[in-house]
Structure 1
Amino acid sequence: MRKMKMLVAAVMLAVLVAGCSSAGGSKDITLAYVAWDSEIASTYVVKEVLEQKLGYKVEMLQVDAGPMWAGVSDGSADGIVAAWLPSTHASYADKYKGQYEDLGANLEGTKTGLVVPAYMDIKSIEDLNDTTGPELDYKIIGIEPGAGLMMASEKALDEYGLRDKWTLLESSSAAMSQELQKAYDNKEPIVVTGWTPHWMFAKMDLKYLDDPKNVYGGAEQIHTIVRKGLKEDKAEAYAFLDKFNWTPDDMAKVMVAIQGGETPEAAAKAWVEGNAELVDAWLK
Structure 2
Amino acid sequence: MKRIQSIKRKPLMMLMLLMAVILVAGCSSNNNSTVKLAYVAWDSEIASTNVVKEVLETKLGVKVEMLQVDAGPMWAGIADGSADAMVAAWLPSTHASYLEKYGKDIEDAGVNLDGTKTGLAVPAYMEINSIEDLNNAEVAATLDKRIIGIEPGAGIMTATEKALEAYGLSDYTLLESSSAAMAQELQKAFDKNEPIVVTGWTPHWMFANMDLKYLDDPKNVYGGAEQIHTMVRKGLKEDMPDVHKFLSQFKWTAEDMEQVMVKIQGGQSPEEAAKEWVESNEAKVNEWTAGISA
TM-score (norm 1): 0.95
- 1:41-190 equivalence runs, <5 A: 41-130=47-136, 131-163=138-170, 165-190=171-196
What residue number does 1:274 align with?
280
The AA in structure 1 aligned to 2:153 is G
1:14 positional shift: 4.5
Matched AA of 1:33: Y
Larger Rg: 2
State the one-letter code of the partner of 1:158: E
> Runs (4+) of structure 1 moved beyond 6 Å?
1-8
**For the residues of structure 2 that align with 1:249 and 1:97, how far apart are their CA atoms?**
29
Pairwise CA distance, 1:23: 5.0
Q: Deviations over 1:14-55 (max 9, x none)?
A: 442234313543431111011110011011000000000000
TM-fit CA distance, 1:136: 1.3
Kept in 2, the 8 Å contact 1:224–1:241? The answer is yes
Which of residues 6, 12, 16 is equivalent to 2:20? Answer: 16
Please say if residues 24 and 234 of structure 1, whose CA atoms lie closer than 8 Å, have aligned partners that are also in contact. no
C-alpha separation in 1, matches of 2:7 and 2:179: 64
- Secondary structure of 1:215's aligned partner: coil
The answer for the alignment partner of 2:239 in structure 1 is: 233
Quick one: distance in 2 between partners of 1:279 and 1:10?
43
Give the count of matched residue pairs. 283
Shift of 1:13: 3.0
Given that 1:27 and 1:55 are in contact with CA atoms closer than 8 Å, whether structure 2 keeps it comes out as: no
CA contact (8 A) 1:31 1:60 kept: yes
Residues 1:34 and 2:50 are matched in the alignment = no
2:207 is equivalent to residue 201 of structure 1: yes
- Structure 1: state its 5+ residue gaps: none
Q: Secondary structure at the match of 1:17?
A: helix
Check conservation: 1:101, 1:227, Cα contact below 8 A: yes
Query: What are the ranges of 5 or more consecutive residues in structure 2 without an aligned counterpart?
Result: none
Paired residue secondary structure (1:83): strand
Distance 1:229 1:115 in 2: 40
Distance, in Å, in 2 between the alignment partners of 1:259 and 1:5 is: 65
Structure 2 match to 1:212:
218
Identity of aligned residues (%): 67
Partner residue, 1:249: 255
User: Aligned AA for 1:259?
Assistant: Q
Deviates more, 1:96-105 or 1:250-259: 96-105
Cα distance between partner residues in 2 of 1:115 and 1:88:
16
Query: What SS does the corresponding residue of 2:116 show, helix, strand or coil?
Result: strand
Query: In the aligned structure 2, how far is the partner of 1:4 from the partner of 1:46?
Result: 51
- What's the secondary structure of 2:277's corresponding residue? helix
In the alignment, the residues of structure 2 paired with residue 171 and residue 96 of structure 1 have an alpha-carbon distance, to the nearest angstrom, of 26
